[in-house]
Amino acid sequence: MAIRRKLFFTDTLSGNKREFVPMEKDQVKIYSCGPTVYDYAHIGNFRNFVFVDVLRRSLKLFGYVVTHVMNITDVDDKIIRDAKKEGVSTDVLAKRYTDAFFEDCRFLRLEPVEYNPKATEHINEMVDLVKRLIDAGMTYEVDGSIYFRISKFKDYGKLSKIDLDRTQAGLRIDSDEYDKEDVRDFVLWKAYKEGEPFWDVPVGKGRPGWHLECSAMSAKYLGRTFDIHTGAEDLIFPHHENEIAQSEAAFGQTFVRYWLHCAFLNMKTQKMSKSLGNIVTVHNLAKTGVNPLAVRYFLLSVHYRKPLIFSDEAIDAAGSAVDRLRNFYRRLSEISQLENKSANVQITSIVSKCREDFLDGLADDLNTAKSLGAVFEMVRQVNPLIESQDLTSDQAKEVISLLQMTNKILDILDDPQDVISEEIETLIEKRQEARKQKNFAMADKLRDELLSKGVVLEDTREGVRWYRKQ
């Protein structure tokens, strides 16, 4: 039976925390701006993607059917720049980092979303949108590039609450957009330049501007109006403001009903971004052997709208928390196998309080900090009962089933059967040691021993990996 709650989200457009009511009963349509695939994504990008993961998992837990789109920007200035630098085609570069992105997603246990449309595969939809905007008189052309004239869209600025008269001076101007009539206008279609990918289409030979794809692809997969749009907070202006302008000017109806934005991950006091050079990529983190569950826990430990600071210490602390939970789960599993029936204590109130607080946290604007707090408060209260052997097998099962429910959202806990035992860990280490000393006979023997325990090893360039034989 689905768990029901009134859900509240902080909506950037209205500036208020609003009750969530979808357009269609029990259905939610979500669009999330995805990665631009020109390099490995940094952990700051993944704060936003983990937030989005919690959003979709929570909606499902509360009984909604979710249709979720996350685009892949696979044609863009940075992709063209880096492909040129490397001497490869933009397709090759984009494919490499698209694959890397999905590998990072798997590492951090993000649920696959329903659609991951690529910009290059939706050129027709984008061209149709540009044609609509041309027909509506919203555009002008300079040297083959087509611009959106924002003075024609009276609601421009409603999301970011930006003061348009003051933005003029401070706005970053792309070098190839100097011909705009107004510096605030943005490009819909970029005229062909030598050496750049292009499409020869009715609006001209060229390629799409970045903002265009999200408006075109969301309309295709979710309709002209949909429920929730997410993104990192730096996308509010100009990207999301431009998406609103394109979609609402083209279709004449509300684009998005709830706008949710995730705050930055900071490194000391600066925002983590490529240009600042303080980058920790998920790809590199994975290579250090960090526990992905600890990274997930860390990213969930603070409400998505509040700043979060990355440090090695914070990841270590998250690792300890995750270990604590894993040990708790393991001990409960052991007790659940026993025949211990006589109850000396009651735990119903502890379990139901945890359950209620956990769900209340999620329902209140996805407050994962509160939900995690509820779980660890229960651990704190139940642990002494495990120590004093006061827990019955049925009570252990009750706690396990609650943990499993919370883990549908958090996903920071492995089933005890899947947890690598210390014995296996030691065997893998011993084999590594044997290989280092070129004692291959011993290494092979240890490999066979692991195989007999159902553990298959794989030697990769990044080191040894293991998985359980099916």
- Contact set with Zn ion (CB under 5 A): 33, 214
Report the alpha-carbon distance of residue 134 to residue 141 in Å, rounded. Answer: 10
C-alpha distances in Å from residue 14, one per residue of 31, 237, 247, 260, 280: 18, 15, 18, 11, 34
- Minimum Å gap between C-beta 157 and Zn ion is 17
Q: Is the CB of 191 or the CB of 214 nearer to Zn ion?
A: 214
Shortest CB 214 distance to Zn ion, Å? 3
Cα–Cα distances (Å) from 104 to 49, 123, 286, in that order, read 11, 27, 8
Of 238 and 292, which has the nearer Cβ to Zn ion? 238
* Helix, strand, coil share (%) of the chain residues, nearest 5: 50, 20, 30
Backbone phi and psi for residue 102, each to the nearest 5 degrees, phi listed first: -70, -30
Q: Which lies closer to Zn ion via its Cβ, residue 206 or residue 209?
A: 209
Count CA atoms closer than 13 A to 199's CA, side-chain side: 18
Separation CA 276–CA 203 (nearest Å):
37
Cis ω before 238 (30° cut-off from 0): yes
Instruction: Closer to Zn ion by CB, 216 or 366: give it.
Output: 216
User: Which C-beta is closer to Zn ion: that of 249 or that of 399?
Assistant: 249
Q: Based on CB atoms, which residue is closest to Zn ion, 138 or 214?
A: 214
Verify cis geometry, omega within 30 degrees of 0, for the bond prior to 22. no
Q: How far is the CB of 75 from Zn ion (least distance, A)?
A: 14
Closest contact distance (angstroms) between CB of 223 and Zn ion is 16
Q: How far is the CB of 150 from Zn ion (least distance, A)?
A: 17
Q: How far is the CB of 255 from Zn ion (least distance, A)?
A: 11
Three-class DSSP category at 296: helix
The helix (run of H) or strand (run of E) holding residue 295 is helix 292-300
Nearer to Zn ion, 231 or 292 (CB): 231
Q: At its nearest, how many Å lie between Zn ion and the CB of residue 414? A: 34
Residues contacting residue 237 through CB under 8 Å, at least 6 positions apart = 159, 160, 162
Q: Which residues pair with 207 in a beta bridge?
A: 190
- State the residue number with the nearest CB to Zn ion: 214
Tokens of 195: 């050496």
Q: Which is nearer to Zn ion, 211 or 431 (CB)?
A: 211
DSSP label of 411: -
Q: Give whole-number Cα distances, 431 to 58, 168, 436, 468, in Å.
A: 42, 63, 9, 17
214 or 354: CB nearest Zn ion: 214
Determine the Cα–Cα distance for residues 212 and 422; give it in Å rounded to an integer.
52
Pick between residue 33 and residue 282 the one whose CB is nearest to Zn ion: 33
Shortest CA distance to 34 belongs to which of 44, 45, 18, 26?
45
Tell the smallest beta-carbon distance from residue 280 to Zn ion (Å).
24
Nearer to Zn ion, 79 or 386 (CB): 79
- Least Å distance between CB 243 and Zn ion? 6
To Zn ion, the closest distance from the beta carbon of 217 in angstroms equals: 9
Contacts of 3 (CB under 8 A, 6+ apart): 61, 62, 63, 359
**How many residues does this entry show for the chain?**
470
CB of 303 to Zn ion, least distance (A): 23
Cβ distance 83 to 92 under 8 Å? yes
